[in-house]
């Protein structure tokens, strides 16, 4: 084997080695990519967020209204965002309370000005919305 052949063969070897490394590294990279990680975590990470799940009838606990309020209504009604009557603000609620619960529920179901239909909770049942309203009204009694 002359020098040139040796040189050629060693280059070939290095080339082959780095090519296989490249392939191997790519493989590792693929696994560490966000998608690869996502795929690997998928079975573990698929957690269901309960806030927007419809509740089966008859399974509403005594704190269902509070839960709904916290999950779906508080973002506006705690701060008075966009003119929402604030939680616990008797003066803001007084003219509304006099409409009666049915009318208030209707406002929530259909939406009212800046309040989106169903207060934004598209999966809430009427009963849940009603409980959330009652929860707010309890505070200003």
Using CB under 6 A, pick the residue from 64, 67, 87, 133 that binds ligand HEC: 133
Is residue 55 within 8 Å of residue 64, measured between CB atoms? yes
In the complex, the smallest distance separating the C-beta of residue 48 from ligand HEC, rounded to whole angstroms, is 20
Q: Which of 53, 75, 79, 110 binds ligand HEC (CB under 6 A)?
A: 75
CA 120 from centroid of its chain's CA atoms: 13
26-31 contacts: CB < 8 A, separation 24 or more? none
Q: How far apart (Å, rounded) are the C-alpha atoms in residues 9 and 12?
A: 5
Among residues 64, 67, 73, 86, the one that binds ligand HEC under rule CB under 6 A: 73
Segment 100 to 129, residues that bind ligand HEC, using CB under 6 A: 103-104, 107-108, 112-116, 119-121, 124, 129
Q: For 61, left (φ over 0), alpha (ψ -120 to 50), or beta?
A: beta
Residues 6+ apart with CB under 8 A from 85: 77, 92, 93, 96
* Residue 36 vs 134, nearer CB to ligand HEC: 134
In this chain, which of 16, 54, 61, 83 binds ligand HEC, going by CB under 6 A? 83
Q: Give the residue, chosen from 36, 96, 125, 140, that forms a contact with ligand HEC under the rule CB under 6 A.
A: 96
Binding residue for ligand HEC, selected from 82, 98, 102, 141, defined by CB under 6 A: 82
Interface with ligand HEC (CB under 6 A): 68, 72-73, 75-77, 81-85, 96, 99, 103-104, 107-108, 112-116, 119-121, 124, 129, 132-133
């Amino acid at each position: 084997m002359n020098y040139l052949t040796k040189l050629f063969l060693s280059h070939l070897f290095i080339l082959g080695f780095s090519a296989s490394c490249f392939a191997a590294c790519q493989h590792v990279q693929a696994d560490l990519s966000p998608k690869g990680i996502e795929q690997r975590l998928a079975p573990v990470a698929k957690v269901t967020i309960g806030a927007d799940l419809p509740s089966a009838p008859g399974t509403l606990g005594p704190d269902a209204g509070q839960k709904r309020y916290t999950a779906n209504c508080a973002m506006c009604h705690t701060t008075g965002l966009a003119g929402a009557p604030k939680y616990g603000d008797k003066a803001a609620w007084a003219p509304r309370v006099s409409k009666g619960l049915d009318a208030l529920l209707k406002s929530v179901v259909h939406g009212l000005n800046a309040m989106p239909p169903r207060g934004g909770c598209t999966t809430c049942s009427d009963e849940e919305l009603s409980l959330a309203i009652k929860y707010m009204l309890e505070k200003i009694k």
